[in-house]
C-alpha cells in the first residue's frame, strides 16, 4: 500500500511540530526580552540617582537595547539551531520504528507472514507494541502453514476413497467387477469414510466457532469413564488390547454435556487402540485436582517423539503420515477432542517418553 499523494509522513509532521514549538518559544523570548529589558534597565538607572545629560541617557538606553537585541537574537538563533538538531534526532528515533512497523504491517497484509520487527529501545510501550505485532505475525504464519497442510491432507483424504469408488465403478462398467457382498462392503466402507471425514470436519469447525449446542449437567467422572470403556470394550477385545478403568473415590461431579464428553473419550480410546499393538494395555483414570477433575488415557503403544507433541491436537497433523493413514485415522480426532474440551472450559495435553514408550493424553475439566 502506497502513501496517498500529498500526505506528509510521520517524521515530517513530528519535525514540523517541534519546529513550531521551538520557533514560538524563541519568538516569545525575543519579544519579552525587548519589551521588559529596557524598562528594567531604565528603572535601575533612575534608582541609581546618577544625574546624566539627557542625550547621554538616551544613548545609554539605545546602546542597551541594541546590545540586548543582538545578544538575544544570536542566543535565539543558536538555541534554535541546537533545538533543530535535537528535534531531527528525536524525530528519526521515534518515526523510524513506526515506519518499520507500518512497512511490516503492509507485508503481512500482502501475505508475507515471516516478517518481524526489531524491538526499539524507546520504552515499554514500543516494546509491547512490537512484541504484540511479532506474536500476531508468528500466529498468522502458523495458521497459514496449518491451512496449507490442512488443504493438502484433506485433498489426500478425499482422493483415496474417491479413487477407490471410481475404480470399482469402472470395473462394474467393464464387467470386471461383480456386485457381490465383498464389492458392496468395499463401496460402503469408502462412502462411510467420506461421511466420517465430513462429520469430523463439521464437528471441529463448529466447536472452534463456538456453535456447539451444549446441554451441560452434573455427571460423575466414574460414569463418564465407565460408559466410554463399555462402548470400546468389543473393539479392544477384538484386537487383543487390554482396557482398564480407574476412578478415585469421592470425586465431585463435573458439569458437562455427557454426549460430547463421551465423544471426547471415545476419540481418545480409538486413537489409543489405533496405535497400541496386540498384547498392549490402555488405561483410563480420573483423579481430583484443584478445582478440576483430571482424566487420563494412557497406552503402551508406539509413543510420540518430543518434536511432535505440541502439534498432535492440530487438524490433520500426523507424526507419521503414511503410518496413520494405514491405520485408518483421519488425523482430526484429537483436534475434535481439544475443541470439545475447550468448549467446556477445560484443557488438553499429551505426553510421551518417545517412540515405543507409549502416550498419555490428559483432559482437565473444571468442577462446578
**pLDDT tens-digit map of 239-252:** 999 999 988 878 88
pLDDT digits (tens, 9 = 90+) for 183-216: 888 888 888 878 877 777 776 666 666 666 778 8
Q: Can you give the pLDDT at residue 5? A: 42
| Whether pLDDT at 16 is above 80 | no
Mean of pLDDT values over 173-192: 84
What's the Cα-to-Cα distance from 201 to each of 51, 198, 217, 245, rounded to whole Å? 105, 5, 26, 30
> With bands split at pLDDT 50, 70 and 90, how would you rate the model's confidence at 318?
low
Bigger pLDDT: 261 vs 318 = 261
pLDDT band at 236 (very low <50, low <70, confident <90, very high): very high
Task: Give 363's pLDDT tier (boundaries 50, 70, 90).
Answer: very high
State the Cα torsion 92-96-98-99 to the nearest 10°: 120
* pTM, rounded to two decimals: 0.55
CATH architecture of the domain 217-366 equals: 2-Layer Sandwich (3.30)
DSSP string, 78-92: HHHHHHHHHHHHHHH
Calculate mean pLDDT across residues 157-162. 79
- Are 336 and 204 in contact by the 8 Å Cβ rule? The answer is yes
CATH code given to domain 150-208: 1.10.287
Buried b (16+ CB within 10 A) or exposed e, 170-197: eeeeeeebeeeeeeeeebeebeebeeeb
Share of the chain above pLDDT 90, in %: 18
| Residue intervals in the chain for CATH 1.10.287 | 150-208
What is the rounded average pLDDT of the residues 69-81? 73
Residue 324: CB partners within 8 Å, gap ≥ 6? 274, 318, 331
Highest mean pLDDT among 3-12, 115-124, 278-287: 278-287
Q: List, by residue range, all CATH 3.30.565.10 domains of the chain.
A: 217-366
Q: Looking up cell 521588559, which residue turns up?
A: 36
Q: What angle do CA 346, 348, 354 make, to 5 degrees?
A: 165
Tell me 308's DSSP state: G
Section 65-89 average pLDDT: 72
Amino acid at each position: 500500500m502506497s502513501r496517498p499523494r500529498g500526505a506528509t509522513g510521520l517524521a515530517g509532521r513530528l519535525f514540523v511540530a517541534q519546529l513550531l514549538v521551538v520557533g514560538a518559544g524563541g519568538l516569545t523570548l525575543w519579544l519579552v526580552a525587548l519589551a521588559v529589558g529596557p524598562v528594567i534597565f531604565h528603572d535601575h538607572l533612575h534608582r541609581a540617582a546618577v544625574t546624566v545629560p539627557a542625550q547621554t541617557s538616551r544613548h545609554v538606553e539605545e546602546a542597551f537595547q541594541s546590545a540586548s537585541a543582538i545578544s538575544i537574537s544570536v542566543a535565539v538563533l543558536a538555541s534554535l539551531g541546537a533545538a533543530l538538531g535535537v528535534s531531527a534526532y528525536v524525530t528519526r528515533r521515534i518515526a523510524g520504528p513506526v515506519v518499520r512497523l507500518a512497512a511490516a504491517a503492509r507485508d503481512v497484509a500482502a501475505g508475507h507472514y515471516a516478517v518481524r520487527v526489531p524491538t526499539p529501545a524507546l520504552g515499554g510501550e514500543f516494546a509491547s507494541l512490537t512484541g504484540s505485532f511479532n506474536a500476531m505475525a508468528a500466529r498468522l504464519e502458523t495458521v497459514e502453514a496449518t491451512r496449507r497442510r490442512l488443504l493438502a491432507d484433506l485433498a489426500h483424504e478425499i482422493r483415496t476413497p474417491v479413487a477407490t469408488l471410481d475404480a470399482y465403478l469402472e470395473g462394474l462398467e467393464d464387467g470386471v467387477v461383480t456386485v457381490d457382498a465383498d464389492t458392496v462392503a468395499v463401496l460402503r466402507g469408502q462412502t462411510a469414510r467420506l461421511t466420517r471425514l465430513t462429520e469430523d470436519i463439521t464437528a471441529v469447525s463448529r466447536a472452534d466457532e463456538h456453535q456447539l449446542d451444549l446441554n451441560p449437567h452434573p455427571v460423575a467422572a466414574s460414569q463418564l469413564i465407565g460408559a466410554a470403556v463399555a462402548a470400546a470394550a468389543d473393539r479392544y477385545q477384538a484386537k487383543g488390547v487390554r482396557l482398564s478403568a480407574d476412578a478415585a473415590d469421592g470425586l465431585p461431579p463435573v458439569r458437562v454435556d455427557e454426549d460430547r464428553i463421551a465423544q471426547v473419550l471415545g476419540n481418545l480410546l480409538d486413537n489409543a487402540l489405533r496405535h497400541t499393538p496386540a498384547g498392549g494395555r490402555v488405561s483410563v483414570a480420573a483423579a481430583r485436582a484443584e478445582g478440576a477433575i483430571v482424566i487420563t488415557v494412557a497406552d503402551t503403544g508406539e509413543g510420540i517423539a518430543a518434536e511432535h507433541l505440541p502439534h498432535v491436537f492440530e487438524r490433520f497433523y500426523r507424526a507419521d503420515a503414511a503410518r496413520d493413514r494405514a491405520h485408518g485415522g483421519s488425523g482430526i480426532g484429537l483436534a475434535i477432542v481439544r475443541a470439545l474440551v475447550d468448549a467446556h472450559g477445560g484443557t488438553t495435553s499429551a505426553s510421551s517418553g518417545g517412540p515405543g514408550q507409549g502416550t498419555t493424553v490428559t483432559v482437565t475439566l473444571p468442577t462446578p
